[in-house]
Amino acid sequence: MKFAPPELLTDSGDGAVDNQSRDDWEKAIEYHEIKHRLRDERTREKARATAIEQIIRKALATMGAVSRPYREETSPWEKNPSAELDLEASLSEDPSLESLLVEHRAPKRAEVVLCIDTSLSMTGRKLALTAVALATIALQLESEDLGVVCFETDATVIKPLGRKMPLRELLRALLEVPARGLTNIEAGLKKAALECGRGRLPRKAVILMSDGRFTAGANPEHMVAKLPRLHVVQTGSPWASPRLCRNLAKKGGGKFVRVSRWEHLPKALYSLTGEIVR
């Protein structure tokens, strides 16, 4: 079963696209480098829309044929009148219309807050691949179950947990981050902790994406106790700090994932999110 939200389906109904040309993908990479030179808003919007479409195409190709995980649930007939009647469970209660129970499948859900390092080292290629990775996460979750924090010297929430946001709007917000400043992992995790406090589901996790070398703020290890399960995805960098990344993941009870090449980032985050949800 291939999964793609209705907003992303092509006329044929297939959401997975793998025939993206190199020139098409270059448009997504170039956007970050040229956006500040595009003074005309219509021209900039057109370039951004093209970049977003290429990012979504690459995300769907990365995901391929996937199926969302489900769980079996029993609920009152009034809430799901089209579901299959659970006769045994219904007869164990008062057999009135109000007591009828039905079985149905509900998607497994978990809340994820993605904490992204968008400091000065975030080039056009890195930002485009980060956007692809974000799309693969968003496509596996209910929109309100995803929160996104971007951090450099300071931290900003570009997608609050608990709020629905179309995928294209989310990608637009990421592509417009200035990608400047220092690397304040502590500030990013503080914002992530606040977002987790807004959550309603029992299952939640934070994914930190950084090279692990903080150049502003304090050592972020003290923030781990304020977070739910913390997974750390360390991106390739000559200045990377694997020791800090490993320590954060270990203290946070999560996984440490080393991504040496940025091209591998979307697949790594796609797989990690799948494990969290399942």
Both 200 and 220 in one domain: the answer is yes
Q: How far apart are CA 127 and CA 156, in angstroms?
A: 16
Phi, psi of 47, rounded to the nearest 5 degrees: -65, -40
Question: Is residue 76 in a domain?
Answer: yes
In a domain, 1, yes or no: no
- Helix orientation angle between 124-138 and 22-34, rounded to the nearest 10 degrees: 110
Whether 79 and 52 map to the same domain: the answer is no
Distance of CA 145 to the CA centre of its chain: 9
pLDDT digits (tens, 9 = 90+) for 151-203: 999 999 999 999 999 999 999 999 999 999 999 999 999 999 999 999 999 99
**Pairwise CA distance, residues 252 & 15, whole Å:** 35
Claim to verify: residue 139 and residue 267 sit in the same structural domain: yes
In a domain, 122, yes or no: yes
| pTM attached to this predicted model | 0.82
Asked if 58 and 152 sit in the same domain, the reply is: no
Q: Do 202 and 253 lie in a common domain?
A: yes
> Rounded CA gap, 99 and 160, in Å?
38
173 and 249 housed in the same domain = yes
Q: Which of 40-44, 54-58, 212-216 shows the lowest mean pLDDT across its residues?
A: 40-44
- Same structural domain, 52 and 88: no
Helices (H), the chain: 22-34, 41-63, 87-91, 124-138, 167-175, 185-197, 242-251, 265-277
Residue 149 lies in a domain: yes
Q: Contact 212/249 with Cβ under 8 angstroms?
A: no
User: Structural domain tally of the chain?
Assistant: 3
**Residues 36 and 49 both lie in one domain:** yes
DSSP class of 143: G
Q: Cα angle vertex 261, ends 256, 262, to 5°?
A: 90
pLDDT in tens, 226-263: 999 999 999 987 668 899 999 999 999 999 999 989 99
Boundaries of domain holding 74: 70-107
Closest CA to 139 of 233, 266, 49: 266
120 and 15 together in one domain: no
Q: Which residue has the higher pLDDT, 23 or 267?
A: 267
The number of beta carbons lying within 10 Å of the beta carbon of residue 243 is: 9
Pair 126, 83 in one domain? no
